[in-house]
Amino acid sequence: MSSAFAIRHSHIASQPVQAPPPGYMSLTVVGSGVSTGVPVIGHLGLGCACEDAVADPSGPNSRNNISLLITLPRGDLPDLPEVRTASTTATMPVADQMKAENDGGNGSGGTAGAVRNTTPRPSHSCFAVERSSNYIGAKPVAHILIDCGKTFRDAYFKVMIRCNIRAVDTLLLTHGHADAVAGLDDLRDLQSMHMVSTGDWVVDSFVPTYLSRSTLKTLEKSVDYIIRNSIKSGHAASTPTEHAARLAECLQQREAQAVANGTAHKVGKWRNIGIRRSTALELFYMDEEQPLRMHLPITTTAAMADGTAAAPSDLPFYSFPVEHGKGYISMAWVFGRGTAFKSQQTQQQGQHQPEGSCVVYISDVSDIPATSMAFLQDLVKIDVLFVDCLSPTGRVSPVHYCEDGMMALVLALKPRYVFGVGMHCALEHFKWMAELQKALDSHVAAGRLRAGEVQGVELSYDGMQVLLPQ
């Protein structure tokens, strides 16, 4: 399957991080490991990938919980002006210089020449509204995070911090297990809220969060205090018009509820979450039975950054269910402006390859239901497939794809590039990269794939970054 653009990846630490240019998106693997992470507790000395993970914590065998960061340029915010610091000729964005000045002399890298802010600042000032927008350098960006598991804090300082992330603009949750949701509490430090004179916290921006109702039920038990802070906005809309109508209706309901329960007099009204600062989400529910288009409002700002479209349009996103163990649903996604369906192509279009990328993300899967498989096989093309790959060939798991399951899906879908995610320590990175290439070559030799039809099957790694056309 041919395409006009090449797909390359590099480690996020290998060069200065830059915002994706207009019309592009960057995909960063925040975590590539199974729930235990790698190294695994108690596995040192067993001759697995844990040996290298301990010896080289920044290497590809060191794996946090599966998570992906999608970064888009924004067209609705201005670039930051570049300014010079008092102690160096290097330039930095105004927002970063202000932080450097406020931190100067406090053990955070400030120099003797930095200008200190001598005005006392409240302890919560770092969560103020003016720091809620994301910039990489001087360029405004939006960040969509898939999953926020139990290793999220470590993953932030290992990978995400390099993107200067100050807020999660949208959160997608695959399922309710700890490796997908146990880091939700830490999201409060990436959320804009402020303290009022009464000592209460008022949320400036709830984190738009897309999840299944099954996952919500789990969260209502495991992090009930977060759900109490959160607002429920119904099922995920498929169009901007539907989304706007839903929000308007929900706003009226919240205002009425605030009057009914006697909280309308509070500062911030329904945005007031009380004296404890903790994560507050805006919840939208995905369908657990069939694939559906979903509208993510933040992606419209990326279209505005492109400037080529007559009117801004959201980035196509589709959710679809898969099984993560018999009877347990995990969510997966297809996204990108290159997403198109064979069943919707006209005769004139023929086998025309749509511009832009089509990315498929399936992180926790043991089986794909027939409706979801039909949906995937109807795609005109798949440029990148991220897919579960727990263990080497010959091994099986009742709750995850192993290498054999991953390769069977590759043969069925024929994506251009494949990246395994969710690896356990039996998959040593360097050894199995070579083994996967041998497996791919054998399928070509046997005639199951055409030469070049699938251009690469690899293991992902923490910090891996891919730049793609949207």
Residue 230 pLDDT more than 90? yes
Which residue type does 143 have? H
pLDDT > 70 in the chain, percent: 85
Q: Which of 97-101, 247-251, 272-276 has the lowest mean pLDDT?
A: 97-101
Superfamily of domain 9-77+133-469: Ribonuclease Z/Hydroxyacylglutathione hydrolase-like (3.60.15.10)
| Average pLDDT, integer, range 289-294 | 97
Contact assessment for residue 122 and residue 4, using Cβ atoms and an 8 Å cutoff: no
> What integer best gives the mean pLDDT of the chain?
88
Distance CA 220, CA 185 (A): 13
Both tokens assigned to 289: 């039975």
Contact assessment for residue 373 and residue 323, using Cβ atoms and an 8 Å cutoff: no
Contact assessment for residue 403 and residue 438, using Cβ atoms and an 8 Å cutoff: no
Q: Which of 82-91, 135-144, 185-194, 286-295 has the lowest mean pLDDT?
A: 82-91
Both tokens assigned to 153: 């804090």
Residue 426 pLDDT more than 80? yes
| Average pLDDT, integer, range 411-434 | 98
| Average pLDDT, integer, range 379-385 | 98
Under 8 Å CB-to-CB from 342, ≥6 apart: which residues?
Answer: 378, 379, 380
Helix (H, G, I), strand (E, B) or coil at 464: strand
Residue 103 pLDDT more than 70? no
| Average pLDDT, integer, range 183-205 | 96
Where residue 308 falls among pLDDT bands split at 50, 70, 90?
low
CA of 211: how far to CAs of 41, 102, 174, 207, 319, in Å? 30, 38, 7, 12, 10
Where residue 307 falls among pLDDT bands split at 50, 70, 90?
low
The domain limits of the chain are 9-77+133-469, 82-129
| Average pLDDT, integer, range 162-175 | 96
DSSP collapsed to 3 states, 50-71? HHHHHHCCCCCCCECECEEEEE
Distance CA 110, CA 91 (A): 15
Q: Which of 308-312, 393-397, 398-402 has the lowest mean pLDDT?
A: 308-312
Distance CA 108, CA 416 (A): 44
Q: What H or E segment, with its residue span, contains residue 274? A: strand 272-274
Question: What pLDDT, on a 0 to 100 scale, did the predictor assign at position 120?
Answer: 34
| Average pLDDT, integer, range 238-251 | 93
| Average pLDDT, integer, range 343-351 | 70
Question: What pLDDT, on a 0 to 100 scale, did the predictor assign at position 19?
Answer: 96
Strands 359-362 and 384-388: parallel
The two counts, helices (H) then strands (E), for the chain are 11, 22
Question: What pLDDT, on a 0 to 100 scale, did the predictor assign at position 354?
Answer: 81
Distance CA 330, CA 214 (A): 9
Which stretch, 241-245, 253-257, 330-334, has highest mean pLDDT?
330-334
DSSP string for residues in 363-397: -S-SB--HHHHHHHHTBS--SEEEEE--S-TT---
| Average pLDDT, integer, range 147-165 | 97
Residue 366 pLDDT more than 50? yes
Q: What is the pTM of this model?
A: 0.88
